[in-house]
Amino acid sequence: MSKIIGIDLGTSNSAAAVIIGGKPVVIPSAEGTSLYGKSFPSIVAFTKDGQLLVGEPARRQMVTNPEGTVIAAKRKMGTDYKFKVHDKEYTPQQISALILQKIKKDAEAFLGEKIEKAVITVPAYFNDNQRQATKDAGEIAGLQVVRLIPEPTAAALAYGLDKADKDLKIMVFDLGGGTLDVTIMEMGGGVFEVKATSGDTQLGGTDMDNAIVDYIINKFKEDTGIDLSRDRMAMMRVREAAEKAKIELSSLLTTEINLPFIAYDPRNNEPKHLNMTLTRAKLEELIRPIVERCRQPMMQALADAKMKPEDIDKIILIGGPTRMPIVREFVKQIMGKEPERGVDPMEAVAIGAAIQGAIIAGDIARDIVLLDVTPLSLGVEVLGGLTEKIIERNTTIPCKRSKIFTTAADYQTAVTIHVVQGERPMAADNVSLGMFTLSGIPPAPRGVPQIEVTFDLDTNGILHVSAKDLATGKEQSITITSTNKLSKEEIERLKREAELYAEQDRRKKEEAELRNEADNLIYTADRMIKQDLKDKLSGEQIEKINKAIQALKDALAGKDTALIKSRLDELKNILGEISAQVYSRVGSGTGSSSSSSYSSSSTTGSESK
């Protein structure tokens, strides 16, 4: 059975891992670890000449190509939002699929085998639409998503694999680039049971970056009168500098932000440079309101788990922002104890996903059971626009629940069932997962028909709904469809598009290798006529080689790969022929003792043709 890799698909950065010989190994990207501690920045770029860049290469050019660069696509997962790039639109699933495709490709190169299956992590507080979108992204990338696992659960698994027999109550505080999850778990006897989860899918390091960016551009405007917010390239430079400063101030008390030639003063057409000092104290002042927003989800998770801070044995911090002293101190103050320090916040989630993959594949011979919960209640809209909950939040999954409903009008022969997810009493205030109609109900006074609606929530936290008319026994199983859920046909189309990008990458690599070979041959041929065989070549031979060199150079100046190959082969043949002629003359001039040497040279020349 091929390996199942674990993927932490993050808002700002992603990571991947695999179990080899019973030990977790983080999968490196082709470019190596990025500045921000993970292998794969979650950035996708489309250059003006049609080139696709993913990860670190995309990050490096984002300042010079802001219009063609997509960041933080995860924040739009499960919505109908479209990213507009160079007159083309991309769904969040497509952008995420390109990141997953890059991870898949680099994992295959690292492991030396084809990768077809993955466990992908999602924020614990992701709703059904967001989870389904993540699964769709995996399929588009050519991966069978064998399991979606909440990020805090994965982190706890990574932390507790060697402690699975101990009885511990754990809080996982997962503050990433775009989301916050707070999960309370109990572990013992090889069982990891989630007791409660709470969070905010629109709270993370990106919000901190935004606060720093706002401070920088406002201060620059005060000092110079120039508003940088209208210049996309300048804003990308400021954002990159803000993120870098945030990271540096986790270990330093002060840092310098220097952005030369950030703008031109329209009054005198002189360049303006951005130079300022940012202290940790100022940073903490800027982001304190964002950090404070983490309090309510922490208290909610404890309340739902029926625990107090003193009941928690261990606190695990996950996500880049948890490296910041203000975040660690905030958690410590609320919980009354120091968070654990033996967990890498940037790798733990991917490692936990890899462990789950190895458990599924049978590569880890340990009895480990994960008992997860649904983060939000699931229900249907009933008369008056109210929400009737069928599965309550923090119910252990997988689970199946049913409720009996009836008609609201006399002689009604069909009912429309509107499925929603959330905690608000009014259905319109919750997330709509979809609608379907059950028809063919025998006419009867209102309140008489009995319609059983069943919600079946699988291990991935994805919902399946069925409805049954108890009078007739007529049953209809429904696959929830919503405006942002992709059909099988759409997924297949997007998979083909993703494969085209992979084919495009392969062709570009082949072209680069061909151009390198051509450059090397031009160098060799030039050296041959000017140094190595200068005294042994006739004027006619030199002219013939020079013409072939120039023809190849002309081909290299264009984009016709077939022409480059043709001109390359022509130069190879000419060099082979002339080399054979030269060595033939040398061989005949040295007597019979060299005849075998001549034969060898002749054979070599023939092969080079």
Catalytic residues: 8, 74, 151, 174
Using DSSP bridges, classify how beta strands 52-54 and 254-265 pair: parallel, antiparallel or unpaired. Answer: unpaired
How many residues are recorded in the chain? 609
DSSP for 395-446, please give it: -EESEEEEEEE--SSTT--EEEEEEEESS-SBGGGSEEEEEEEEE-PPP--T
Residue 538: strand, helix, or coil: coil
Q: Tell the residue number behind the tokens 């049913």, with chain if given.
A: 402
Element housing 393 (H / E):
none
Per-residue DSSP letter, 486 = P
Neighbours of 193 (CB within 10 A): 16
Task: Round to whole Å and give the CA distance between 512 and 530.
Answer: 27
Element housing 383 (H / E):
none
Cis peptide before 297 (omega within 30 of 0): no
Token couple for 606: 């023939």
Token couple for 76: 């739009």
Per-residue DSSP letter, 27 = P
Listed in sequence order, the residues at least 6 apart from 485 whose beta carbon sits closer than 8 Å to its beta carbon are 129, 132, 133, 136, 434
Per-residue DSSP letter, 82 = -
Contact (CB, 8 A) for 418 and 457:
no
**Amino acid at position 486, single letter:** L
Q: What share of the chain is helix, strand, coil (3-state, %, to 5)?
A: 45, 25, 30
Q: Tell the residue number behind the tokens 């993050």, with chain if given.
A: 10
Token couple for 302: 């404890």
Element housing 573 (H / E):
helix 561-588
Token couple for 60: 């490096």
